[in-house]
């Protein structure tokens, strides 16, 4: 084996290690945040069912801390007809 071959093997091994170091936490993040969760709503203070955007959280965890966003909320269908900035109490 030449020096170039050994250098190539070392670089590939380092690349695989770095990828594994970032992918394992991303997969863990996906499985942690997938599925429905019951959380208190900041608007109504009632419990609501939400789906966290687990794929987005996993992608964000590849480069740092995961950023959590909602995919679905059980309150969204009842708010479907509302304009942004208008609460249910303002509708007459």
- Domain positions in the chain: 3-81
Residue 48 bridge partners (DSSP): 39
pTM (two decimals): 0.63
Structure tokens at 5: 């071959």
Highest mean pLDDT (candidates 17-21, 55-59, 79-83):
55-59
* Residue of 59, 68, 62, 78 lying closest to 37 (CA atoms): 68
Residue 39 bridge partners (DSSP): 48
pLDDT of residue 43: 85
pLDDT of residue 73: 86
pLDDT at residue 30 tops 90: yes
Do 16 and 26 contact (CB within 8 A), yes or no? Answer: no
- Cβ neighbours for 27, distance < 8 A, ≥ 6 positions apart: 58
Distance of CA 33 to the CA centre of its chain: 7
């Amino acid at each position: 084996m030449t020096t170039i071959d050994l250098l190539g093997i070392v670089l590939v091994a380092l690349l695989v290690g770095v990828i594994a170091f970032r992918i394992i936490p991303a997969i863990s993040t996906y499985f942690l945040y997938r599925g429905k969760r019951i959380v208190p709503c900041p608007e109504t203070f009632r419990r609501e069912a939400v789906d966290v955007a687990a794929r987005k959280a996993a992608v964000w965890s590849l480069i740092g801390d995961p950023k959590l966003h909602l995919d679905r909320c059980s309150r969204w269908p009842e708010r479907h007809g509302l304009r942004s900035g208008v609460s249910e109490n303002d509708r007459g």
